[in-house]
């Protein structure tokens, strides 16, 4: 087959990967010189722990397997099976962690409840005080700023792969055919539109105004090297409030008995933290859902995150080197991992994985391949 993939973020690149792996001829088109969106502006976490049971968890677990397989072939991904720890404080937070460990699918996630000493044996950088820690063995990490580049470098070794940067697809001109802003027509058997948070223009024209996908803005930051290993990813108990796996009567009691701080609630915050290959820490994040989004970043969330991280590490945070905002597309249909829709003859739109994009993209692409009979 001849496959045209529009978009060079992680979802688009994984679709190109799946097609090349199956022996198909692939042209990948990207409107920027390189992808610049949420595929780079994220934690690089392969985050199994908080996924909803059923299809979402199955997708994340399959993606975790694929990330590890691809990472063995492409060292530039920086794949590492580092797991995650969520320290908890007090009885209310502890009860939510206990409910997570009691789930029927807890073993599939690799969930265990650890004492503080056990958690510090696993991650000695956690010198702060906490009651216990929820461990997820299946969580992992990659390097988001270089993952797409490493995947593309490997793809370019195949004579069946072509990358066309600096081109914006403007219209569908027939079965499996699109025209870009250079006037060139790219024809084949199928077009896969993986346009991320770009939901206007051609996407709106093809999918209509009722596309069940919304845009979400976040803020994050990255520090100078920590000076010691952070051997697992780290979350705080506020993450329980944002991930569906933790829904329980214990979570209801936490929300009622210990609401988020004013800053965390106002910015819909949780702490997620992962160490980069250079030793720095990627730390976030916030969630903004209402349009129009702010055009600037605000300091209060960063101050809150710094306070939370320092309380867990028991030491001052290294100097902040980078701050940024990003926007991703999130499917609003309950229970769906991604929005996958045939929008024209031979043209499919795959978008809206939300915060699951980095985690689930290999399995999302594999499912597309199977559904389209690749």
274-304, pLDDT tens digit by residue? 999 999 999 999 999 998 999 999 999 999 9
Percent of the chain at pLDDT > 70 equals 100
- What confidence score (pLDDT) does residue 185 get? 98
Domain assignments of the chain as residue spans, ordered by start: 1-83+142-211+337-374, 91-137+213-331
Mean per-residue pLDDT, 199-210: 94
Whole-angstrom distance, CA of residue 42 vs CA of residue 217: 11
Please give the DSSP secondary-structure letter assigned to residue 351. E
| Domain 1-83+142-211+337-374: assigned CATH number | 3.50.50.60
- What confidence score (pLDDT) does residue 40 get? 87
| Domain 91-137+213-331: assigned CATH number | 3.30.9.10
Q: Match 């059923």 to its residue by tokens.
A: 54
Mean per-residue pLDDT, 137-162: 96
* Nearest of 87, 115, 42 to residue 284 by alpha carbon: 42
Query: Does residue 46 register a pLDDT over 90?
Result: yes
Q: Are 94 and 75 in contact (CB under 8 A)?
A: no
Whole-angstrom distance, CA of residue 182 vs CA of residue 293: 31
How many degrees, rounded to 5, is the angle at CA 131 between CA 127 and CA 135? 80
For 320-374, write each residue's pLDDT tens digit: 999 999 999 999 998 899 999 999 999 999 999 999 999 999 999 999 999 999 9
Query: Does residue 36 register a pLDDT over 90?
Result: no
Mean per-residue pLDDT, 142-167: 96
Rg (the chain; Cα; Å): 21
Whole-angstrom distance, CA of residue 195 vs CA of residue 15: 12
- What confidence score (pLDDT) does residue 316 get? 97
pTM as predicted? 0.97
Band (247; pLDDT cuts 50, 70, 90): very high
Mean per-residue pLDDT, 202-227: 96
Report the mean per-residue pLDDT for the chain.
96
């Amino acid at each position: 087959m001849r496959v045209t993939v529009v978009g060079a973020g992680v979802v688009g690149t994984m679709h190109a990967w799946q097609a090349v792996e199956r022996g198909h001829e692939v042209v990948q088109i990207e409107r920027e010189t390189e992808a610049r969106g949420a595929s780079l502006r994220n934690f690089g976490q392969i985050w199994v722990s908080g996924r909803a049971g059923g299809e979402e968890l199955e997708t994340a677990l399959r993606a975790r397997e694929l990330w590890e397989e691809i990472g063995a072939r492409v060292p530039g991904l920086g794949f590492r099976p580092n797991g995650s720890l969520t320290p908890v404080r007090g009885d209310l937070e502890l009860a939510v962690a206990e409910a997570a460990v009691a789930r029927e699918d807890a073993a599939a996630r690799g969930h265990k409840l650890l004492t503080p000493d056990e958690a510090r044996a696993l991650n000695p950088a956690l010198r702060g005080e906490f009651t216990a820690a929820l461990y997820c063995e299946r969580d992992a990490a990659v390097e988001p700023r270089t993952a797409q580049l490493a995947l593309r470098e490997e793809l370019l070794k195949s004579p069946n792969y072509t990358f066309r940067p600096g081109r914006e697809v403007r219209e569908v001109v027939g079965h499996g055919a699109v025209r870009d802003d250079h006037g060139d027509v790219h024809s084949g058997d199928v077009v896969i539109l993986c346009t991320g948070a770009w939901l206007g223009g051609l996407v709106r024209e093809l999918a209509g105004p009722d596309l069940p996908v919304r845009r979400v803005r976040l803020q994050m930051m990255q520090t100078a090297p920590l000076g010691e290993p952070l051997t697992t990813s780290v979350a705080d108990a506020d993450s329980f409030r944002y991930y569906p796996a933790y829904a329980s009567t214990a979570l209801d009691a936490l929300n009622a008995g210990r609401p988020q701080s004013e800053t965390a609630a106002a910015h819909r915050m949780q702490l997620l933290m992962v160490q980069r290959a250079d030793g720095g820490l990627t730390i976030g994040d916030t969630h903004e859902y209402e349009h129009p989004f702010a055009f600037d970043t605000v300091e209060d969330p960063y101050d809150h995150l710094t306070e939370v991280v320092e309380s867990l590490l028991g030491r001052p945070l290294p100097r902040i080197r980078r701050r940024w905002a990003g926007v991703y597309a999130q499917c609003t249909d309950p229970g769906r991992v991604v929005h996958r829709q045939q929008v024209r003859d031979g043209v499919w739109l795959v978008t809206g994985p939300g915060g699951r994009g980095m985690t689930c993209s290999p399995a999302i692409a594999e499912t597309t391949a199977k559904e389209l009979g690749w």
